[in-house]
Amino acid sequence: MYLFDAPTLLAYLATAVVLVIIPGPGTAWIIAQTVAGGTARGLRAGLGLETATLIHALAAGLGLSAVLATSALAFEMLKYAGALYLVWLGIKAWRGGREATADDPHPAPAGPQPSGDLSGVYWRSVATGVLNPKVALFFLAFLPQFVHPERGLAWLQFLVLGALLSVIGFTNSAVLSTMIGRFGRSLRGDGAFARWRQRVLGTFFIALGLRLALQQRG
């Protein structure tokens, strides 16, 4: 017996495409990273976010997301961990902008570079995706609609659905990174733009962290 029937799979793919192309925090993250360090950095950030998608899908299949849905303490702990992480990234970005202003009137862009720290970008993106309890709850609410336990291997069904969503999401990230990367290349050599970019990026991270901290389980 197949894990999915054709109508279910087609309905899921159509819904996943719509969800992916709707702008959200993930889209903003990809844009920010691409402007900061070029297409390669945007692609690595996208890969990190989609790795987090797979982790959440597997967690949903194994029942870990159900804990977040039923345990207020678990939800609050993960929520505040994610919020603190985002605020820390924002403060770091702001400090990078100030250092660029003080040290060199025409510095190289502060913070991430196109060819540097790509591994760090990947792992920060994974952490950003994983430390968001809303994502876990989304998987708990969304994926079960397309899972049929009577077909067996429910955890594998969750993982396959998550993998498909990751492929669609990374394709979107690749297109977005390529488009933004072409435009951002002309701006990254501008020292003033680099400083303001860091400040805007830092403000975005801090705002995103505060927004996450104020979210309710609802």
- Convert the pLDDT of each residue in 165-208 to its tens digit: 999 999 999 999 998 887 765 555 555 656 776 777 778 778 87
Residue 69 confidence (pLDDT): 67
Q: Phi, psi at residue 212, to the nearest 5°?
A: -65, -40
Q: Is residue 201 part of a domain?
A: no
DSSP string, 114-126: TTS-HHHHHHHHH
Q: Is residue 36 part of a domain?
A: yes
- 113: pLDDT confidence band, cut at 50, 70 and 90? very low
Domain span holding position 147: 26-76+105-190
Query: Does 97 or 108 have the greater pLDDT score?
Result: 97
Nearest to 42 by CA among 168, 189, 163, 182: 182
Query: Does 84 or 183 have the greater pLDDT score?
Result: 84
Q: Cβ atoms within 10 A of the Cβ of 107, count?
A: 15
Q: Is residue 210 part of a domain?
A: no
Q: Phi, psi at residue 106, to the nearest 5°?
A: -135, 65
As for how many domains the chain has, the answer is: 1
Query: Mean pLDDT across the stretch 130-146?
Result: 76
Q: Is residue 163 part of a domain?
A: yes
pTM: 0.69
Q: Is residue 55 part of a domain?
A: yes
Q: Is residue 98 part of a domain?
A: no
Q: Is residue 172 part of a domain?
A: yes
